[in-house]
Amino acid sequence: MANDKIRNFCIIAHIDHGKSTLADRILEKTETVAIRDMEDQLLDNMDIERERGITIKARAVRLKYTAKDGEDYIFNLIDTPGHVDFNYEVSRSLAACEGAILVVDASQGIEAQTLANTYLAIEHDLEVVPVVNKIDLPSADPERVCNEVENVIGIPAMDAPKISAKMGINIEEVLEKIVTDIPAPQGDPEKPLKALIFDSYYDSYKGVIIYVRVKEGRVKVGDNIRLMATGAVFNVVEAGFMDATNLVNNGSLEAGEVGYIAASIKSIGDTQVGDTVTNDECPCDEPLPGYRKVNPMVFSGIYPADGAKYGDLREALEKLQLNDASLSFEPETSIALGFGFRCGFLGLLHMEIIQERLEREYNLDLITTAPSVIYKVTLTNGEVQYIDNPTNYPDPAVIQVAEEPMVKASILAPSDYVGNIMELCQDRRGVFKDMKYLDDTRVELHYELPLNEIVYDFFDVLKSRTKGYASFDYEMMGYVPSKLVKLDILLNGDIVDALSFIIHTDKAYSRARKIAEKLKENIPRQMFEVPIQAAIGGKIIARETVKAMRKDVLAKCYGGDITRKKKLLEKQKEGKKRMRQLGTVEVPQEAFMSVLKLDS
């Protein structure tokens, strides 16, 4: 297949703007999928992806399209993750393409996420093809949206296809645009192999399957390939492409093509997204630019509610890690919660997804601790420590400087909500940078925010204060010195390690009060009074008391019928398992979870 008949592209869209539906229509139109095999939204094949309407992992599929010029074209559609947590993966997917279809909702217009990814695409020199979707909706205003695309992004949009992916309207126009507007790939198949890894997953029969875009040279079955960042060498067992449902092993791939390689790779840790694949005997001079190792940003302790399930939790995490090299975990123990794992995530969504998959796919009942970011602490002796677990926070007396990570945040919302948004960002210690009107009714705000202020519930609160209209995106911008303190929670005078966290001094009092109140609501009255205290160092800054229970008695034991009392004893025994015994205090797992959701 000549390179000039290949088109490599991805689709950029905000959640719910119709990316997956459009992808499905394209698959259908190119008859890649027989109608009987069509399942709604084929590319998003994890349950959670479908439910949340997001793509977690990138996928790629090869399609054949006969254009109006009578020629047959090969389309490689690379589906990209649509969330900020997976920004790096997005950038690698974009690097595998020559063009991007920008899908914009005809009634909602551009969102923060779309904008961020579109800028990313333009940075990668991709040809951006705007498409206005959902024109069938009564509230659709395609003209306004085209104007917005031209004004905000600065690309021509007046002749953008106006489509309804759901109803199948004008899909062919999109296909023709792909042929005419997106450039064919470049690259010399005779040069040494140079291929970009943009995704990988673990297959229990074939080992790790890596998804690649071949930039130069060719790769075929039997070749020894070297992954340049890790240095690992493997023998190629399969090389080919993906149709909508299967891997098709056609023996080789060459410059310009998108496909997969299977090489009996055991560990996904060897195949890092962004790495360059080359030929071991005849390597290229230097790897493709842009590779970096992704590091977790957000950490949280994950514990089984039932301590006996510790082994099951480990197994589940190991299985998830097979397909998700960005998930990290290390065993940790907590006095309060027993044996568990300190897990690292790319961001909040990533964390939620992992927790949800553990609970749903592995049937585990979990207790998680408050998410923490990595703090950088310079000690008085000059030593620098990175702290991802509040329990390990050093004594303030030996801290010279404490620093916290900051992000550049961009928020898009209708202008009516600017006041609410500013209030929220200010409350979260945000520093206002600038504000732009995208059109008469929509604004884009830029803030610098501490990451630890957004890891709890920022996005939820932002949504509720803007009636769901705001969209939000952020990128890391490094560390700044900050006045941080470690806040401890004490029950009956003893510190509960799982509830400690690090916080800015100014926020400590109000957070301490809220946590104490929440715990009071969620710890049932028991035999002994339970004092709840929040403390910084030795100083108590908030306190509540769970009063002792007064009445807990089965008064009657009539006619020698003690079955009810026996049942109660059994129930009490069972109930004990659901409770965490901390000294004399019994704490239900809900109490640990309640402090994660402090509405502000």
Partner 1 sequence: MSTLGIYIHVPFCGKKCAYCDFYSVNWTKSQAEEYVGAVLRNIRHYGDCGAKVDTVYFGGGTPSLLSSLQLESIMTEIGRCFSLDSDAEITLEANPCTLTVDKLKELRSAGINRLSIGVQSMIDDELKTLGRVHSAVRAEQAVTDAADAGFENISCDLMIALPDQKKESLQYSAERLTALPVQHISAYILKTESGTPFDCEEIRLRLPDEDAAAELYLEMVKLLEERGFMQYEVSNFAKRGYESRHNSRYWKCSDYLGIGPAAHSCYKGKRFAVERDVADFIASEFQNITVTDESPCGFEEFAMLRLRLKEGLRLSDVSEHRSDIEKKMPSLIKDGYAETDGERIWLTAKGFLMSNSVIEYLIF
Chain residues that interact with partner 1, rule: CB under 8 A: 526-528, 548-563, 565-566, 568-569, 572-573, 576, 584
Given the complex with partner 1, which of 360 and 565 has the nearer CB atom? 565
* Minimum CB distance to partner 1, residue 585 (Å): 12
Given the complex with partner 1, which of 315 and 521 has the nearer CB atom? 521
Q: What is the length of the chain?
A: 600
Among the listed residues 392, 430, 59, 377, the one whose alpha carbon sits nearest the alpha carbon of residue 246: 59
Structure letter (DSSP) for residue 351: H
Given the complex with partner 1, which of 38 and 562 has the nearer CB atom? 562
* Minimum CB distance to partner 1, residue 551 (Å): 4
* Minimum CB distance to partner 1, residue 309 (Å): 21
Given the complex with partner 1, which of 483 and 577 has the nearer CB atom? 577
Given the complex with partner 1, which of 398 and 569 has the nearer CB atom? 569
Residue 123 neighbours by CB under 8 Å, 6+ apart? none
Six-digit token pair at 310? 């510790």
* Minimum CB distance to partner 1, residue 492 (Å): 11
Contact 81, 89 (CB under 8 A): yes
* Minimum CB distance to partner 1, residue 524 (Å): 10
Six-digit token pair at 439? 């059109």
Contact 290, 91 (CB under 8 A): yes
Given the complex with partner 1, which of 480 and 562 has the nearer CB atom? 562
* Minimum CB distance to partner 1, residue 513 (Å): 25
Q: Establish how many alpha carbons lie within 13 A of residue 356's alpha carbon, considering only the half-sphere containing its beta carbon.
A: 12
Six-digit token pair at 66? 């006969």
- Radius of gyration of the chain from its Cα atoms, rounded to whole angstroms: 27
* Minimum CB distance to partner 1, residue 325 (Å): 45
Given the complex with partner 1, which of 138 and 560 has the nearer CB atom? 560
* Minimum CB distance to partner 1, residue 549 (Å): 6
Among the listed residues 519, 546, 516, the one whose alpha carbon sits nearest the alpha carbon of residue 530: 546
* Minimum CB distance to partner 1, residue 545 (Å): 14
Neighbours of 94 (CB within 10 A): 25
Cα–Cα separations (whole angstroms), residue 427 to 369, 422, 454, 461, 463: 23, 8, 11, 12, 15
Given the complex with partner 1, which of 2 and 553 has the nearer CB atom? 553
DSSP calls for 160-190: --B-BTTTTBSHHHHHHHHHHHSPPP---TT
Given the complex with partner 1, which of 40 and 552 has the nearer CB atom? 552
The pairing of strands 375-379 and 238-242 is unpaired
Amino acid identity at 119: Y
* Minimum CB distance to partner 1, residue 566 (Å): 7
Residue 58 neighbours by CB under 8 Å, 6+ apart? 78, 79, 80, 81, 89, 92, 93, 198, 199, 211
* Bridge partner residues of 63 (DSSP): 75
* Minimum CB distance to partner 1, residue 491 (Å): 15
Contact 492, 545 (CB under 8 A): no
* Minimum CB distance to partner 1, residue 577 (Å): 11
Helix ranges restricted to H, 199-282: none
Given the complex with partner 1, which of 186 and 584 has the nearer CB atom? 584
The torsion region of residue 288 among left (phi > 0), alpha (psi -120 to 50) and beta comes to beta
What angle do the packed helices 87-95 and 112-123 form, to 10 degrees?
40
Helix ranges restricted to H, 197-328: 310-322
Given the complex with partner 1, which of 69 and 574 has the nearer CB atom? 574
* Minimum CB distance to partner 1, residue 525 (Å): 8
d(CA 63, CA 25): 12
Given the complex with partner 1, which of 431 and 549 has the nearer CB atom? 549
The torsion region of residue 217 among left (phi > 0), alpha (psi -120 to 50) and beta comes to left
Given the complex with partner 1, which of 414 and 524 has the nearer CB atom? 524
Given the complex with partner 1, which of 36 and 551 has the nearer CB atom? 551
* Minimum CB distance to partner 1, residue 581 (Å): 10
Contact 437, 443 (CB under 8 A): yes
The string over 225-238, giving b where at least 16 C-beta atoms fall within 10 Å of a residue's C-beta and e elsewhere, is bbbbbeebebebeb
Helix ranges restricted to H, 274-397: 310-322, 348-361
